C-alpha cells in the first residue's frame, strides 16, 4: 500500500481530505495518507506546495515522485536535495480559472469598460468610444503551455486575432504561433493587448523591459497572470507614465504580497489582483494526483513531469 505524505500547508488538508480519498478510490488505489512527522524513509509520494513543511528531500529515500499542487515550480525546481521526479499541476480547475481571468480582463480593455466607469458624469457619450470588433483587435499571449494555449483558444473563439509565443515551435488551430527571439519581436509589435502566462525562469526574467515595451503599439495593455519576474517594474511604470503602455492588470509580482508602499497600488492605470487569477481546485487536482500515483504504481511514465534543465 503506497504511503502518501500530504506536505502542503496543514490548513489545506480539510479541503483535500475528501477529494483525495475519493480520487484515489476511483483510481483503484488503496493508499495511506500521512502527515509531516511520519518517517520520511517510508514515504512513496509527496503531495507538495512551496510553503509547506518539506524543503529537504534527502531523507525521502523511497519516494517515487513529488507531486506539486502548484503549476509554477520555480521554488522547488532548483532544490538540490530533490533527486526524485517532480510533477507540476495541470488541472482543469486552474485552466478554467485562468481562461476566465484572462478573457475577462481582455474584454474589459477591449470594450473600454473603465472609460464608462470613470466618465459617468451626466454626459451622454454615444459614439465617442466605439471599440473595434474582436476580429480587428490583436491579442498576444506569451506562453502557450497548458494555460496559455487554453486562453489563446478561448480568445480566438471570441473572434480575436490571436498570436501566441512559445520557446519551441507550435501549431494551434486559429492561433498565429511564433517562437524564439524573432517571434517575440513580431508578437510585441502587434500586441494591442498582451497577456504573459510564462513560468518564472532565468530566461523569462525581465522579458518585458524598456526595450520590449517600446516595441508594442502605443497605448497597449498588459495582463500578467503568469509570474512577476517577467516584468521589469521600473520600466513598466515609466512606460505607463509616458503613455506608451495604456494600462496593466497584474496578478503576480516579484515580491508577494505586493508591499503596501509599492507604486502599483496607487497607480491610476494599474489594477492589482492578489495572485488569484487561477486557483488549484481540490476536486480536479486530486484526480491528477491520483492518476500520477496510479501511474507510479503501474510503472508508467508520470504526467506533467518538470524538465528541470528548462526550469518548468
Ligand atoms: P507550461 O509549462 O505548460 O507552459 C509554459 C509555456 O511558456 C510554454 O508554452 C513554454 O514554451 C513557454 N516558455 C517557457 N520559457 C519560455 C521562453 N524562455 N521563451 C518563450 N516561451 C517560453 O505552464 P502553464 O501554462 O501550466 O503555466 C504557466 C505559468 O502560469 C506557471 O508557470 C505559473 O507560473 C503561472 N500560473 C499562475 C497562476 C496564478 O494564479 N496567477 C496559477 C497557475 C499558474 P514551450 O511550449 O515551447 O515549452
User: CA 289, CA 81: separation in Å to the nearest integer?
Assistant: 22
Name every protein residue with a CB atom under 6 angstroms from any ligand 1 atom: 71-72, 90, 94, 143-148, 165-168, 197-201, 203-204, 225-227, 251-252, 275, 277-278, 312
Cβ atoms within 10 Å, residue 197 = 28
* pLDDT exceeds 90 at position 26: yes
Closest CA to ligand 1's atom 3:
145
What is the pLDDT at residue 129?
A: 84
CB 265 within 8 A of CB 233: no
Would you state the pLDDT for residue 242?
Answer: 98
In the three-class reduction of DSSP (H, G, I as helix; E, B as strand; rest coil), residue 170 is classed as coil
pLDDT tens per residue across span 205-227:
999 999 999 999 999 999 999 99
User: Is the distance from CB of 278 to CB of 143 less than 8 angstroms?
Assistant: no
Give the residue, by CA position, lying nearest to ligand 1 atom 18. 203
Q: Are strands 176-179 and 32-34 parallel, antiparallel or unpaired?
A: unpaired
Q: Tell me which of 88, 137, 227, 287 is the catalytic residue.
A: 227
In which residue are the cell numbers 502548484 written?
70
What value of ipTM does the predicted structure carry? 0.99
Q: Find the mean pLDDT for residues 56-67.
A: 98
> Is residue 88 scored above 90 in pLDDT?
yes
Active site includes 35? no
**pLDDT for the residue 128:** 87
Q: Which of 90, 58, 68 is nearest to 7 (CA)?
A: 68
Are 49 and 9 contacting, i.e. CB atoms less than 8 angstroms apart?
yes
**Average pLDDT for the chain:** 97
Closest CA to 269 of 227, 204, 219: 219
Amino acid at each position: 500500500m503506497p504511503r502518501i505524505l500530504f506536505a502542503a500547508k496543514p490548513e489545506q488538508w480539510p479541503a483535500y481530505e475528501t477529494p483525495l480519498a475519493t480520487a484515489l478510490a476511483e483510481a483503484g488505489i488503496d493508499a495511506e495518507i500521512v502527515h509531516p512527522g511520519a518517517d520520511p524513509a517510508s514515504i512513496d509520494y509527496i503531495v507538495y506546495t512551496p510553503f509547506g513543511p518539506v524543503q529537504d528531500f534527502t531523507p525521502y529515500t523511497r519516494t517515487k515522485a513529488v507531486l506539486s499542487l502548484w503549476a509554477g515550480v520555480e521554488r522547488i525546481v532548483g532544490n538540490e536535495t530533490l533527486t526524485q521526479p517532480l510533477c507540476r499541476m495541470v488541472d482543469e480547475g486552474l485552466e478554467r480559472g485562468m481562461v476566465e481571468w484572462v478573457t475577462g480582463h481582455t474584454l474589459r480593455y477591449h470594450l473600454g469598460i473603465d472609460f464608462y466607469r470613470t466618465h459617468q458624469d451626466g454626459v451622454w457619450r454615444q459614439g465617442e468610444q466605439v471599440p473595434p470588433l474582436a476580429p480587428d483587435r490583436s491579442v498576444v499571449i506569451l506562453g502557450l503551455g497548458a494555460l496559455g494555449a487554453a486562453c489563446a483558444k478561448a480568445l480566438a473563439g471570441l473572434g480575436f486575432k490571436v498570436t501566441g509565443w512559445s520557446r519551441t515551435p507550435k501549431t494551434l488551430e486559429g492561433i498565429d504561433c511564433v517562437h524564439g527571439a524573432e517571434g517575440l519581436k513580431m508578437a510585441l509589435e502587434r500586441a494591442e493587448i498582451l497577456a504573459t502566462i510564462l513560468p518564472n525562469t532565468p530566461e523569462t526574467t525581465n522579458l518585458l523591459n524598456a526595450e520590449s515595451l517600446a516595441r508594442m503599439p502605443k497605448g497597449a495593455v498588459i495582463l500578467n497572470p503568469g509570474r512577476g519576474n517577467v516584468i521589469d517594474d521600473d520600466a513598466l511604470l515609466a512606460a505607463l507614465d509616458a503613455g506608451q503602455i495604456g494600462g496593466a492588470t497584474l496578478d503576480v509580482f516579484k515580491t508577494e504580497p505586493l508591499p503596501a508602499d509599492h507604486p502599483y497600488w496607487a497607480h491610476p492605470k494599474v489594477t492589482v489582483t492578489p495572485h488569484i487569477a487561477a486557483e488549484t481546485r481540490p476536486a480536479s487536482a486530486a484526480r491528477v494526483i491520483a492518476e500520477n500515483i496510479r501511474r507510479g504504481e503501474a510503472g508508467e511514465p508520470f504526467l506533467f513531469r518538470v524538465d528541470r534543465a528548462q526550469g518548468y
